DNA sequence: ATAGATGCAAAGAGTTTGCATAGGT
DNA sequence: ACCTATGCAAACTCTTTGCATCTAT
């Protein structure tokens, strides 16, 4: 069974507090304010463990960055800011996407990413 | 100015022949049939050069894989097969995606990726 | 002949893993 | 006391870069 460690709790709190998907480095920086000696390997191991438990999900972004967010029950997508690179949740989905696939292909899912500028970066380039 | 080398031509031909986005490794394998000594560094340098010229565009997929395809003038999206991992072009776009973004955010673009099984992998798991 | 392109190997960046130790239970 | 979780460092993967050589012009 899994243990309740300061590191694990700090990582979970960082994700809860952010309310948006965080990169491993963002998680590290946030959680280190609580547990200064925290190492990046623990962040990777912990988010993987939390993902296995179904508590968080990975958000893989074009460019190779993988962020992590607390698991939601509802279908949603993401927005990435070109200014600060932060990732935000986007509610809703255009739907009717399966019909776009080539004939003979079976669509099992989809991902949609919007990009542009968040409210903060829109005013502060 | 740029030179017309066997390597560069083999890489361009691989992209034309495939008719779909190729990963650096796929490009290497295809182009090596024409130029056996071809190295992966040349593939990376060449696709970057072709991208700078506007002849190819990068297709960045969740998971960190970056593929390259010949540049199209029309807006389109992609499908990735969970069986063979190959990437295909998808025509059309659901449109009206900007409205999904949070208030105060400006949307400059979007990417849509469908995933599932291609026609080949649907019958051959 | 000149200068850009290539192949190799080394260097980076991000992520994962091995191992001794710390620390939850 | 036991055994998982941690921190460090090494290993790994993918991509980029330095450099001597090759080759298109």
pLDDT tens digits for A30-81?
999 999 999 999 999 999 999 999 999 999 998 889 999 999 889 999 999 9
Quote the pLDDT of residue B95.
84
Residues A59 and A101 in one domain: no
Quote the pLDDT of residue A121.
94
**CATH code for the domain of B55:** 1.10.10.10
Quote the pLDDT of residue A73.
82
Residue numbers in B near A82 (CB within 8 A): 108
Residues A63 and A84 in one domain: no
pLDDT band at B102 (very low <50, low <70, confident <90, very high): very high
Strand C closer than 7 A to residue A85 Cβ: no
Quote the pLDDT of residue A105.
96
Q: Does the CA dihedral A12-A13-A19-A22 come out positive or negative?
A: negative
pLDDT tens digits for A78-123?
999 999 999 999 998 998 899 999 999 999 999 999 999 999 999 8
Whether the CB of A125 is below 8 Å from some CB of chain B: the reply is no
Counting residues of chain A whose pLDDT is more than 90, the rounded percentage is: 88
**Distances in whole angstroms, Cα of residue B30 to Cα of each of A110, B8, B16, B38:** 29, 12, 11, 10
Q: Which helix (H) or strand (E) holds A113?
A: strand A106-117
Residues B82 and B116 in one domain: yes
Residue numbers in A near B78 (CB within 8 A): none
pLDDT above 70 (res B41): yes
Strand C closer than 7 A to residue B37 Cβ: yes
Residues B11 and B63 in one domain: yes
Quote the pLDDT of residue B125.
67
Is position B93 within any domain?
yes
Q: What's B53's DSSP letter?
A: H
Residues B48 and B97 in one domain: no
pLDDT above 70 (res B36): yes
Measure CB to CB from residue A62 to each of B62, B82, B97 and give the nearest one.
Answer: B62
Instruction: State the Rg of chain B over Cα.
Output: 17
Quote the pLDDT of residue B81.
95
Q: How many domains does chain A have?
A: 2
Residues A34 and A11 in one domain: yes
- How many other β-carbons are positioned within 10 Å of the β-carbon of residue A41? 8
pTM of the model: 0.91
């Amino acid at each position: 069974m899994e243990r309740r460690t300061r590191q694990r709790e700090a990582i979970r709190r960082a994700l809860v507090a952010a309310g948006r998907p965080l990169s491993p480095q963002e998680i590290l920086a946030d959680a280190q304010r609580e547990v200064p000696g925290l190492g990046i390997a623990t962040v990777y191991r912990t988010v993987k463990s939390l993902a296995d438990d179904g508590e968080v999900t990975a958000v893989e972004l074009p460019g190779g960055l993988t962020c992590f967010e607390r698991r939601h029950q509802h279908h949603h997508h993401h927005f990435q800011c070109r200014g600060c690179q932060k990732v935000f949740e986007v509610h809703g989905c255009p739907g009717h996407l399966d019909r776009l696939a080539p004939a003979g292909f079976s669509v099992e899912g989809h991902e949609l990413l919007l990009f542009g500028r968040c409210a903060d970066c829109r005013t502060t380039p």
